[in-house]
Amino acid sequence: MTLQREKRDYSWGMVVDVDKCTGCQACVLACQAENNVPLNLQDRFERARVMSWIRVERYWEGEFPDIKARFIPIMCQHCENAPCEPVCPVFATYHNNEGLNVQVYNRCVGTRYCANGCPYIVRFFNYWEPVWPEAFRNHLNPDVTVRSRGIMEKCSFCIQRIRRGVRNAERENRDVVDGEIQTACTQACPTDALVFGNFMDEDSKVSKMKKDDRHYTLLPHLETDPNVVYLAKIDTDKSAGESHG
C-alpha cells in the first residue's frame, strides 16, 4: 500500500542502485565529514554504540568458492508513514512538507522511543558528548549543529544542502534544477549508485529511476512507504527477477 501523497513543491528522495554499489564506503566517510558525526573509535565498536548515518551492509551469498559479496547502503528511509514519528512525546521528530523525516535536536529529550520504533536501525543516540581530536578543530561543518549528549540523530538527507540549494534558486528567481542539490553521499559515490532528487518533479532523474522494473523498498510489509527506493542487483547467473539485492 502506498499512501496518497499530497501535492507539494518538493518530495525529496533517493534512489539506490544496488547493482552499481561496490561497497567502497565513500558515502559513509562523506556523510561522517559533512554532518559532524562523531568518530567511531574502537571503544564505540566494542560497546556497540557506533554512529553512522549511512552504512554499507554486506552479505555473503552462496558457498565458498562460489560466493558473492552483496552490498547495500542503508540510511534513514524518510518514511512517509514513519514508525519513529508518532512515538516521540515531544514532537522532536516529525514529517515536514518536503517529504523529510526531520529530527529537531533542540526539542529532543532523549527518550530513545524512536530508535526502538525504527525497523531500519538508522537512528543513533548520543551516549556521550562528542569529542574530536584537536586536529579536527576547524574541520566541523558550520552548517550542521553539533549534537550534544543525550539526543537522537539520524540522516537528514543533508538538509543544510537542500536549504542552500533552494535558497540559491530563490535568489536567482528560478526553480531548483534537478541534480543541483546533492547529498554528501550521492556526491561522493564514485559509481553513481546513490541518486538524490525531487520525486515531485516527473522529469527528475530519481522519478525516472524509480519507474525501473528493479525497484523495491526495504521491509515493504511494514508499509512505512519510504522515500528511499532501491534498484535490485542484476545477477547474470540467475534469471531476471529472481534476486533481490
Partner 1 sequence: MLATLLEFLREKHRTTPMWMKVLIPVLGVGSLGVVAVMGAFLAFVVTAWLGQPIPVLGFDQSVEQPIAFPHTIHAGMGVYTDSTGDQVQGLGMDCTFCHRTVTSQANAGVPPVQFCAYCHQVIGGEESEPLTQVRTAAGIIGDSPHPIDWKRVHRMPDHVRFVHEPHIRYLTQHPDKVTNSTSGETMGAAGVCSTCHGDVASMEEVAQVEPLKMGQCVNCHRDNDAPTDCASCHH
Stretch of residues binding partner 1 (CB under 8 A), selected from 78-86, 137-145, 203-211, 214-222 = 137-145
Torsion sign across C-alpha atoms 55, 228, 148, 37: positive
68's grid cell? 558473492
Half-sphere exposure of 143 (CA within 13 A, CB side): 11
Shortest spacing between CB 201 and partner 1, in angstroms: 20
For the chain, the straight-line distance linking the first and the last C-alpha, in angstroms and rounded, comes to 21
Q: Which residue lies nearer to partner 1 by CB, 143 or 235?
A: 143
Q: Under the criterion CB under 8 A, does residue 136 sit at the interface with partner 1?
A: no
Shortest spacing between CB 211 and partner 1, in angstroms: 29
Q: What percent helix, strand, coil does the chain show, rounded to 5?
A: 20, 20, 60
Contact with partner 1 (CB under 8 A) among 2, 22, 97, 191: 97
Residue 238 is given by DSSP the state: S
Stretch of residues binding partner 1 (CB under 8 A), selected from 43-51, 79-87, 128-136, 155-163 = 155-163
Q: Which of 118, 189, 130 is nearest to 155 (CA)?
A: 118
What one-character-per-residue DSSP string does 79-126 give? -TT-TTSTT-TT--EEE-TTS-EEE-TTT-----HHHHH-TT---EE-
Q: Under the criterion CB under 8 A, does residue 160 sit at the interface with partner 1?
A: yes
Shortest spacing between CB 173 and partner 1, in angstroms: 10
Q: Which residue lies nearer to partner 1 by CB, 29 or 169?
A: 169
Q: Under the criterion CB under 8 A, does residue 156 sit at the interface with partner 1?
A: yes
Q: Which residue lies nearer to partner 1 by CB, 20 or 164?
A: 164
Shortest spacing between CB 169 and partner 1, in angstroms: 11
Contact with partner 1 (CB under 8 A) among 24, 56, 87, 146: 146
8 Å CB contact between 130 and 140? no
Q: Under the criterion CB under 8 A, does residue 138 sit at the interface with partner 1?
A: no
Alpha-carbon distance of 210 to 160, in angstroms, equals 25
Q: Under the criterion CB under 8 A, does residue 145 sit at the interface with partner 1?
A: yes
Alpha-carbon distance of 148 to 158, in angstroms, equals 19
Shortest spacing between CB 157 and partner 1, in angstroms: 10
In the complex, the residues that contact partner 1 under the rule CB under 8 A are 94, 96-97, 100, 102, 104-107, 142-146, 156, 159-160, 163, 167, 170-171
